[in-house]
Amino acid sequence: MQFAKAKKIIVEPGSKLILNNTKVTNLEQCGIMWEGIEVWGNKDLPQYPQSNQGVVELKNGATIKNARCAITTCQKDTVGNILWNYTGGIIHAKDAHFINNRKAIEFLSYHNILPNGREIDNSSYFNNCNFETNAQLSDPGTLPETFVSLNDVKGVKFLGCTFQNIAPTGVYSTIYRGNGITSIDANYEVKPLCLSPYIYPCTEYQPNTFKNLYYGIYASNTNPAITLTISGNNFDNNHRSIFLKSINNATITKNNFDIGATIGNINDQTNEREECEACDVFNRSYSYGVYLKECSGYKVEENNFSTSHDGHAGIIVNNSGTKANEIYS
């Protein structure tokens, strides 16, 4: 299926779109990115039953390419403004591909609250999915933003996925490679996928891999009750693999880091945001595996840090809180 500029697919609450070994992309003759899929929800209803919300299911190699945002979990008006009453859409993705999109997935503020008032995890998941930039994006001047963004959601799972920019050398400099996952006030899991689900305990795992990105994971919180788990993943040649700001009780365990290179003389090219402690007066942007800023109660254990790319630092800790903080083994 091919879509022209400014065209999109809408999945309304109570509807389900299944992409089974299907490729959805832009109109080749046009060469301009299409808008992607909006899966609408109802912010005041839970995701059970699923008929309360719109659902998109991708499986068996389904592919979404060349979209400004491949899938967003809300409704937007004609000029792109978010209609916040229509968040809560569901995405189930297994063995799917998201290729050369400015952004692949966008989760917007939604809480999956049952009638008894108890909040449970968002039912969306991504198993063995490939998020990839492998060429210059279709729209002139458009840069990769982030494969996944999450804002004020809980419990989305990323299991055994790949997030990578493998565009040829010279297409994107390091600061323009885009991020893997970018989040604010979001709780989610980044863990390996069990490849032996019928054996307990599991004997074979497939990790998430973050490769050749500006940030692998960039996460910040304003809500101290929200935490994050990043365990058993591979980070290869990212300028900055994990940056956490104001996140309490985070768990970062059993990950492998091959740290990317420091960037020299970046001038004003990059939006360094609030972590410029890893820059210097000579406009060098220092690379690292993990940066913990204003975090408390974290558990950082059994990670492997190395570099074959002239990386700078394994772990940087800035202004820890007063809870029991642990960096071990």
User: pLDDT tens for residues 2-24?
Assistant: 888 889 999 999 999 999 999 99
Which tens digits make up the pLDDT trace of 183-238?
999 999 999 999 998 888 899 999 999 999 999 999 999 998 899 999 999 999 99
Mean pLDDT of the chain: 93
CA-wise closest residue to 73 among 123, 146, 129, 18 = 123
Residues 6+ apart with CB under 8 A from 167: 133, 134, 135, 136, 177
Q: Residue type for 67, please?
A: A
Q: pLDDT value at position 281? A: 54
Retrieve residue 90's tokens: 């569901």
Q: Give the chain's end-to-end CA distance (angstroms, integer).
A: 50
pLDDT for position 274: 43
* Per-residue model confidence (pLDDT) at position 266: 63
Please give the pLDDT value at position 273. 43
Pairwise CA distance, residues 243 & 312, whole Å = 15
User: What is the average pLDDT across 307-321?
Assistant: 95
Question: Which is nearest to 163 in space by CA: 148, 175, 150, 180?
Answer: 180
Average pLDDT over residues 25-36: 87
Rounded to whole angstroms, the Cα distance separating 329 from 320 reads 19
**Residue appearing with tokens 């020299």:** 264
For residue 136, the model assigns a pLDDT of: 94
CA torsion angle 70 59 113 116 (round to 10): 160
pLDDT of residue 265: 63
Distance CA 270, CA 209 (A): 24
pLDDT at 272 over 70: no
pLDDT digits (tens, 9 = 90+) for 53-75: 999 999 999 999 999 999 999 99
Asked whether the predicted pLDDT for residue 118 surpasses 80, the reply is yes
SS3 of 48-109: the string is: CCHHHCCEEEEECCCEEECECEEEECCEECCCCCEEHHHCCCEEEEECCEEECCCEEEEECC
Between CA 31 and CA 139 the distance in angstroms is 8
Distances (CA, A) of 317 to 131, 184, 326: 29, 20, 11
CB burial of 60-72 (b: ≥16 within 10 Å; e: otherwise) equals eebbbbbbbbbbb
Question: Which of 247, 99, 112 is closest to 162 using CA atoms?
Answer: 99
Percent of the chain topping pLDDT 70: 95
Question: Can you give the pLDDT at residue 79?
Answer: 84
Strands 75-76 and 82-83: antiparallel
Identify the residue with better confidence: 278 or 248.
248
How much is the average pLDDT of 21-44? 92
The pTM assigned to this predicted structure is 0.94
Which residue type is seen at 323? K
pLDDT band at residue 269 under the 50/70/90 scheme: low
**Model confidence pLDDT, tens digit, residues 121-166:** 999 999 999 999 999 999 888 999 999 999 999 999 999 999 999 9
Contact predicate 234/209, CB 8 Å: yes
